[in-house]
Structure formats: C-alpha cells, structure tokens
C-alpha cells in the first residue's frame, strides 16, 4: 500500500502539514476520518507544487473547521447548505467538504448530494487521476486511497473518466479533460476519447456562466493555445461559436501576448479578444451573450472588433499623430493591445503601439482657466480651443507651457483681426 506521509512533509509547507495533522486528530476525536483529496494528491504524486488544499471528512466539515478555527487566528466561512467550510489565515487557505455522493436528475443540472463514504465521494469525480485521496487520520496517516486506478493512469499518462455517463452528468468535464491532457502532456484514454466525442453535444446543457469559468481556467494555464487547438481538432471549440478557430495563427498571438504581459499573465479579456478576433460584429455579440460576459470583458471583445475596422486607415504611414490619437482613443486598452498583436500591417501596429506607449499620456499643460486668464471669453468654444491645443501637443507643434502660451496668443491675435 502506498504511503505518502513523507511525500507530504517534503512537498508541502510545514504550516499546512501541521494543520492537516491537527485536523486529522480532531476529526478522529469527532468520530470521523479526514482525507486530502483531488488535484493536490495528483500533484503530490507528480511532485508538482500545489497549495490548493481540499480536505474531505467522513463526518461534519463545518464542525471540524469550527474546532480548527479555535486553534489559530483564522477567518472561517461556512456554507451549511453544502456542508462545506473554508479556513483562511495569513496567506493560507484550506477548503473543507463533507464526503458525499452525487446524483444527477438530468444532464448538466447541478447534482443532488448526500453524505456518504470517501469511496463514493471519489467516484463522483471527473478523472481517475483526480479521484485519489490521502488519509490524514492519525492511525492511517499518509495512506493513499486509489480505488479507480489513478496511480496507474498517472504512470501511463492517461486521462480517464470513472464511468460511461461522466460527460453526460457534467459536460464541463469535456473542457477539463482537454485542459489536463494538454497541461500534463497526457493523452485521453481511448474509451474516454470515444465518449468525449460522443457527448460533445451535451455541452449545450451547460450554462454560459459555467463555460466561461472553464475558459477562465484554460486562460490560467501556461499554454492555453494547446487546449484550444486540441478543442478545435476534436470539434469542441465550435461549441463556443461555429466560426471559432484555434489554429497556428491564434497560438502565435497568444505567445506574443504572454511575452508582452510577462512576468504576469495576459488578462482574460485580452486572451478572449484574440480568440474572438476573427469573428464579425454580430458573431462576437452572439459569443458575448452565450458566455454572459461581464461588462468589462464584453467591452474588450466589442472594442477589439470595432477597432479592427479602423486598421486600414491606421496603416497609412503619413497619418498625423493627432489623427492616430483620435482614431484609437476611447477603446479599452486590452482591445488596443489585441489589435496590435493581431494586425498584419506593421505601420498600423506601430500606430497602435505609439498610442499605447506615448500618445494616450499626452495632455496640454494649459487648462480652461488659464485660457480665460489669457483673455479668451468664457464660452463653450473653450473646449474646442483646448482640443486644438491638445492636437498641437500630440503633433509636436508645441512642447512646453511657453510654446502653448505663445500659440494661444497667436490665436487670440487672429480673433481680434
Ligand atoms: N471535480 C470534478 N468535476 C468537476 C470539477 C471538479 O470531479 N467538474 C473534482 C476533481 O476531483 C478535482 C476537484 O474536484 O480534482 C477540485 O476541483 P478543481 O479545483 O477544479 O480541480 P484541481 O484538480 O484542483 O485542478 P487544478 O489543478 O486545475 O487547480
């Protein structure tokens, strides 16, 4: 029997190990057993870092988390309806759930849950490699529970579902399967691949919110383009939108976006704007409503398509800088970045970059009050004059406050003629 006790101590911070041991002891006192489950167990076996601790108790998760909360200055959040709890302190966080089984009244619906054993809890999970647990109770500390062949599948580098109806119960597992396959460099096991293909239409049973969440997870991956390209190959990507493509063009743009965002990651909006870049206006609106995109992300997608229609103008080399400014000004920043990454014309790209790095920060020094003090009558046209001054700054005709004052005096002189 595999024991991961020492692996836990080697790979997880002492703070977490202590908490898990204390929690295992309290669970035993309460007459239950505690387990570490899911992705963190998979990653322990793969020797990959993962600090997302999911603990499952055969007993009562909320009672256990409450007792633990008394042992340290931690914030406790509970969800009595689901019998789950979260404990957070300093930079740490741990999720507690009560072992449960799930049954699905219909495809894509949220499941009906009942308290149950750890075996049943593991059986409701997506893939064998995510369906292992490590016992944390003092007398069985470190024992690996692997009823469904997760360890063998890790060795054989396979993504395998636990039962025939898995994708029907929860079609988001289709996207999750592709994500793990590409992240880990594994393969979908033959039978799993066949069922995945068979059940692709079940993606229509999933709400836009849940699909959006899957996309958010994909965009957190190191190379999301691999997942999207695999999704295209298997006919999954067209379920986002029939015109969607995940080919080499997209891969190059995603890589360039990452280079630009380093050391951070490109935003959800930027990745999505690139993914939807080749859609038309109407098609992108369909995507926005299907994914129920929140305001800021919807704006990035919309702006990015709208700005695309100005690229032809932006590819003229002799454009004045003020003209460049007014064409681009007002669009969301990620939409501008998406266009600069996607556009073919080097001149248009240069204009977009000049805007992002320079023009958007250019402002005249003088304001409305300064103009009035200099002799302009307080009237609505002052706004126009300020705009002319702004253009003069953008085009480099004035470069200092003194230059601006001189230009304004010239204009005042002309007025009086
Ligand atoms: N899970 C599942 N089916 C889903 C979502 C989650 O069975 N549709 C289970 C899996 O056992 C998974 C665990 O819940 O391991 C936790 O979910 P999540 O945090 O999404 O997965 P991780 O494996 O931790 O994924 P990641 O490494 O991407 O954080």
Give the residue carrying structure tokens 């006192």: 29
pLDDT (tens digit per residue) in 331-368: 999 999 999 999 999 999 999 999 999 999 999 999 98
3-state helix, strand, coil split of the chain in percent (to 5) is 55, 10, 30
Rg (Cα) of the chain, in Å, rounded? 29
Q: Does the C-beta of 172 come closer than 6 Å to ligand 1?
A: yes
Mean pLDDT of all residues in the chain? 94
Buried b (16+ CB within 10 A) or exposed e, 82-107: ebbbbbeeeeeebbbbbbbbbeeeeb
- Mean pLDDT in residue range 114-127: 93
**263 C-alpha vs ligand 1 centroid, how far in Å?**
26
Q: Which pLDDT value is given to residue 417? A: 46
Q: Does the C-beta of 170 come closer than 6 Å to ligand 1?
A: yes
Q: Give the residue from 173, 180, 233, 242 showing the smallest Cα distance to 203.
A: 173
Q: Considering only CA atoms, which residue is closest to atom 12 of ligand 1?
A: 38
Pocket test residue of 36, 37, 39, 119 for ligand 1, highest count of atoms within 8 A of CB: 39
Q: Considering only CA atoms, which residue is closest to atom 5 of ligand 1?
A: 126
Q: Does the C-beta of 108 come closer than 6 Å to ligand 1?
A: no
Tokens read off for 200 = 């692709």
Q: Does the C-beta of 126 come closer than 6 Å to ligand 1?
A: yes
Q: Does the C-beta of 177 come closer than 6 Å to ligand 1?
A: no
Return the domain boundaries, the chain: 1-150, 298-361, 368-416
pLDDT (tens digit per residue) in 218-245: 999 999 999 999 999 999 999 999 999 9
Residue 165 has pLDDT above 60, yes or no: yes
Pocket test residue of 40, 118, 126 for ligand 1, highest count of atoms within 8 A of CB: 126
Half-sphere exposure of 80 (CA within 13 A, CB side): 0
Q: Which pLDDT value is given to residue 415? A: 66
Q: For 103-130, give the DSSP string.
A: E-SSTTSPPEEEE--HHHHHHTSSBGGG
Global pTM reads: 0.92
Q: Considering only CA atoms, which residue is closest to atom 27 of ligand 1?
A: 39
Residue 119 has pLDDT above 90, yes or no: yes
Q: Which pLDDT value is given to residue 412? A: 84
**130 C-alpha vs ligand 1 centroid, how far in Å?**
7
Q: Considering only CA atoms, which residue is closest to atom 16 of ligand 1?
A: 38
**127 C-alpha vs ligand 1 centroid, how far in Å?**
9
* Cβ count within 10 A of residue 169: 22
The class of domain 1-150 in CATH terms is alpha beta
Pocket test residue of 109, 125, 148 for ligand 1, highest count of atoms within 8 A of CB: 125
């Amino acid at each position: 029997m595999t024991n991961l006790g020492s692996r836990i101590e080697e790979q997880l911070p002492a703070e977490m190990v202590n908490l898990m041991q204390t929690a295992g002891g309290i669970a035993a006192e309460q007459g239950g057993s505690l387990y570490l489950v899911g992705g963190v167990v998979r990653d322990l076996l793969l020797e990959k870092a993962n600090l997302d601790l999911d603990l499952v108790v055969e007993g009562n998760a909320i009672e256990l988390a409450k007792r633990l909360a008394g042992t340290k200055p931690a914030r406790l959040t509970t969800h009595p309806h689901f019998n789950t709890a979260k404990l957070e302190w300093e930079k740490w966080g741990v999720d507690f759930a009560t072992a449960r089984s799930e049954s699905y009244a219909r495809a894509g619906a949220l499941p009906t849950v009942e308290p149950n054993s750890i075996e049943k809890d593991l059986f409701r999970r997506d893939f064998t490699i995510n369906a292992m647990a490590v016992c944390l109770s003092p007398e069985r500390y470190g024992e690996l529970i692997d009823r469904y062949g997760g360890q063998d599948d890790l060795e054989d580098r396979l993504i395998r579902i636990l039962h025939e109806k898995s994708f029907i119960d929860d079609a988001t597992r289709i996207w999750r399967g592709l994500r793990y396959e590409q992240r880990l460099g594994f393969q979908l096991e033959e039978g799993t691949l066949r069922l995945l293909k068979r059940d692709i239409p079940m993606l229509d049973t999933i709400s836009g919110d849940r699909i959006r969440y899957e996309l958010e997870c994909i965009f957190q991956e190191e190379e999301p383009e691999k997942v999207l390209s695999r999704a295209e190959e298997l006919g999954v990507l067209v379920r986002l939108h029939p015109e969607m493509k995940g080919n080499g063009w997209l891969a190059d743009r995603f890589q360039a976006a990452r280079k630009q965002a380093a050391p951070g990651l490109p935003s959800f909006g930027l990745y999505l704007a690139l993914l939807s870049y080749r859609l038309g206006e109407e098609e992108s609106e369909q995507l926005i409503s299907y994914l129920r995109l929140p305001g800021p992300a919807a704006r990035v997608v919309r702006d990015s398509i709208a700005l695309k229609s100005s690229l032809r103008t932006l590819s003229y080399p002799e454009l004045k800088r003020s003209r460049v400014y007014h064409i681009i000004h007002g669009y969301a920043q990620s939409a501008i970045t998406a266009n600069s990454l996607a556009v073919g014309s080097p001149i248009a790209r240069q204009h977009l970059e000049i805007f992002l790095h320079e023009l958007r920060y250019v402002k005249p020094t003088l304001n409305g009050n300064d103009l009035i003090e200099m002799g302009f009558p307080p009237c609505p046209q002052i706004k126009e004059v300020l705009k002319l001054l702004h253009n003069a700054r953008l085009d480099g005709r004035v470069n200092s406050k003194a230059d601006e004052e001189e230009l304004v005096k010239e204009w005042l002189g002309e007025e009086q003629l």
